Amino acid sequence: VEEDLRDFELYEDWLDDEPRQRGSGRRLSRRASVAERTTDPDQERSPEGAWIDEFTDAGLISGAIRAIKSGKEAAVYLCRANPDAGPSLLAAKIYHPRRSRGFQNDSMYTHGRVILNGQIRRAVLGRSGYGRQVEAAMWIDREFAHMELLHSAGADVARPIKLGAWGILMHYYGDEDAPAPQLKDVRLEPQAAREVFDRLMANVELMLSNHIVHADLSPYNVLMWEDSPVIIDLPQAVDARTNRNAHMLLERDIDHLCRYFVRHGIDRDPRRLADSLWNRYLFARL
């Protein structure tokens, strides 16, 4: 694994870059907040509810309405937004502490990542309790950073609102009764299918031109709202400059999309699409 930590991406850059306000009113750097949340005994005892306080204290939501989905890594809650906050509903994706995907089988995604702080690096590599907590915090930070970057680049990713200690507050796609359906559950007319496919491929290209491969793109992680796709679930996205699996992951993403669209009469060769994008990326033509 040490080999995975050689040169490459200055991973802590974005842990450090943006001071943020915490409920206590103190200003802490992101690195401090990672350390802080991993040593706070309350976090271990009662993550449920604590995340609500964090977002209500920040004046963003007035409370949670219900869980939309609870998986093994994260639960997504529909929240009532604070009336001043713009949209009336928001979604909070809250990770279960110490159970994220980041703890198993993640070397495919973390290749090329560099942790400059020696103490934290050793803890993460050694998989100590502390290391696992740091890893969980990094996983959340990563998802938020990917969402912010891609959203501001104009990609159709869910709009991020606030990074919290336990998860992410973002725009909610759907209405009070139900969240937007996943692409896998939607039947599209032929013309609409072509448009959605082209739009998703344009998103894959835009992400790649920003050096990002989603790495878990599939009809499960695309919501359809108001006839447009919204891409979600980005913690595992990889940096195409540094991760040696990026090309393979790009091809896998495109393959998942192509397989879904076959049923809509769109028959494209995922390998050729991926190779062509990758070559344009390598030769700086994206």
Return the number of the residue (124 or 183) whose C-beta is nearest ligand ADP: 183
- CB under 8 Å, gap of 24 or more: what pairs does 146-153 form? 146/212, 146/234, 146/235, 146/237, 147/234, 149/210, 149/212, 150/206, 150/207, 150/210, 150/212, 150/231, 150/234, 153/206, 153/207, 153/210
Q: Give the Cα separation of 224 and 173 in Å (integer).
A: 8
CB of 161 to ligand ADP, least distance (A): 10
**Cα angle, residue 143 at apex, residues 238 and 3 outer, rounded to 5°:** 40
The active-site residue, picked from 233, 253, 255, 275, is 233
Is 233 among the catalytic positions?
yes
In DSSP notation, 200-226 reads HHHHHHHHHHTTEE-SS-STTSEEEET
Please say if 253 is a catalytic residue.
no
Chain mean position to CA 265:
30
The one segment of 28-36, 73-81, 194-202, 241-249 that binds ligand ADP by CB under 6 A: 73-81
Q: Which of 60, 74, 140, 257 touches ligand ADP (CB under 6 A)?
A: 74
Q: Does 100 bind Mg ion (CB under 5 A)?
A: no
Query: How many residues form the binding site for ligand ADP (CB under 6 A)?
Result: 21
Report 202-221 residues binding ligand ADP (CB under 6 A): 221
Angle at 118 between CA 138 and CA 234, to 5 degrees: 15
Residue span binding ligand ADP (CB under 6 A) among the ranges 32-40, 70-78, 199-207, 254-262: 70-78
Candidates 54, 233, 239, 251; binder of ligand ADP (CB under 6 A) is 233
Interaction between residue 221 and Mg ion (CB under 5 A):
yes
Kindly state the smallest distance separating residue 221's Cβ from Mg ion, in Å. Answer: 5
Q: Which of 216, 239, 253, 269 is catalytic?
A: 216
Interacting residues toward Mg ion by CB under 5 A: 221, 233
Active site residues: 216, 233
